[in-house]
Amino acid sequence: MKPTTVDDVLDLMDESFASAALGTAMELGLFWLLETKPLDAQGVAHALGIPPRRCYYWLQLLCRTGLIEEDSERYQPSSVARRAILEVYSRESWTLLAEEARERLPGLCGLPLHIRASEAASDTPERAFPTYLDKMAKEEDRARRFTRMLYEIHQPLADELTGLLDLGGVNRLMDLGGGSGVVSLALARRYPGLCVTVVDIDNVCAAGREIAIENSLDDRVIYHPADFLRDELPSGYDVVLECDVNVYSEALFHKVWHSLNPGGRFVIIDHFAPAEGAAPPSRMHWAFEKSLTDPDAVFPTAAGVRDQLTSAGFRILSESPVPSDPGPCRRFMDGLIAIEAIADRIA
C-alpha cells in the first residue's frame, strides 16, 4: 500500500493487524472451513475454538482485507480469496508460507531497537533466529513440509526449465540444493536416458525421495545427503544445476568444477541483485531480513557470480533471462536469470 494521506499513513502503521489476521486465517484453515460452508461468527468461533467476541473482531479485520465477505451474517471466502488462495496452492503450502511469515516477525518487532546493531545476530542471542536450513536440519517434519511446499510452488519453474535447458546427450546431472527434485523430476520425464543426483541436506533428501517414489522416478532421480559447503560432492557429471539456492562462493564453484566431467556445464538459475548492494524487487524483504542477521550480507549480482565462476576455472557461456509464464504467481518466477558456464580443462 502506498499512502497518500495522513489516514493512509496511520493505516499503514496498523497493517501488521491485517497481516497477522491473514496469517492466522491460513494457519487455522479458515478459508478452507468457509469454502466448505459459509458460517456466522458464532459458527466460526465454535469450529476453531476461539472466544466468540474475539473471533468476531478477527473476522471483521479479515473482511477489511477483502479476502472474506459477509452476507446475511455469514462469512465466506471472497472471489479474490478463491482465485488467489484456494485455487492456487494447497492448504498445506499456504499454512507453511504463513508459518514462515510469522516466524519472521520477532526479528521485525524490535527493529527500532536493533536496526543500528553492527554485530552479527549470532553474537546476540535475542537476535539469533534459526535459518530455514537450521530448522529443516533439526526437524524432519519441517523439512518434509517445506520440501512438499516448494515441490508444488516450483511446478511452473520446472516446466519452464524443461523447455529452456537442452540436455540432449547428457547422461548424468547433479541438482545442487535440488530440494524436492521438482526440476530434476521434470527433466527426467523429458529425457528418458537422464540420471540425476539431487544433493541436499539429509532431511530434505528423505522428503524428496518420497516424492520421486510417488512419481515412479526413484530409479533415475536419486538423493545424496550432504551439506554442499562442508562435504565432498560426488563426481562424474555432465551437467550441474543450481536453481534458486542463492549460495555462491568461489570455494563452492571449485568443488562443482571437480564434480564435472571435462567440458561439463554448470547452470545457475536464480534472482540476482540489479546492482552491487541492491536486491531484486521480489527479494527485497529477504535481503533486508538477511541484513538483520548479518550486517555485511550482500545479495549476489550476476556479475559477481560470473567473476567467482571464472576464478574457479569456468568459462562463461551465456547469461540470459529465464522467459516466464508465471501462471498464478509472479513472485517466484519474475526476474530469474540463467548463467551457463563450462568447466574447461586448460589449467
Nearer to ligand SAM by Cβ, of 65 and 324: the residue is 324
- If you search the block for the grid coordinates 516450483, which residue do you land on? 154
Asked whether position 280 contacts ligand SAM by CB under 6 A, the answer is no
Least CB distance to ligand SAM at residue 39 (A): 36
Three-state DSSP at 275 gives coil
Angle made by CA atoms 269, 292, 280, in degrees to the nearest 5 = 30
Asked whether position 243 contacts ligand SAM by CB under 6 A, the answer is yes
Amino acid at 201: I
Give dist(CA 340, CA 24) in Å, integer.
42
Nearer to ligand SAM by Cβ, of 78 and 148: the residue is 148
Binding to ligand SAM in span 105-134, by CB under 6 A: 133
Asked whether position 300 contacts ligand SAM by CB under 6 A, the answer is no
- The piece of 87-95, 211-219, 244-252, 257-265 that touches ligand SAM (CB under 6 A) is 244-252
- The piece of 34-42, 199-207, 214-222, 281-289 that touches ligand SAM (CB under 6 A) is 199-207
Gap between the terminal Cα atoms of the chain: 54
- Binding ligand SAM (rule: CB under 6 A), the pick from 30, 34, 183, 211 is 183
Nearer to ligand SAM by Cβ, of 137 and 342: the residue is 137
Asked whether position 229 contacts ligand SAM by CB under 6 A, the answer is yes
- Binding ligand SAM (rule: CB under 6 A), the pick from 38, 177, 264, 280 is 177
CA 227 to chain centre: 18
User: CB count, 10 Å around CB of 247?
Assistant: 13
- Binding ligand SAM (rule: CB under 6 A), the pick from 23, 107, 178, 280 is 178
| 8 A C-beta contact, residue 158 and residue 150 | no
Give dist(CA 14, CA 170) in Å, integer.
54
Closest by CA to 298, choosing from 321, 274, 319, is: 274
Give dist(CA 91, CA 93) in Å, integer.
5
Binding site for ligand SAM (CB under 6 A): 133, 136, 150, 154, 177-180, 182-183, 200-201, 204, 227-229, 243-245, 247
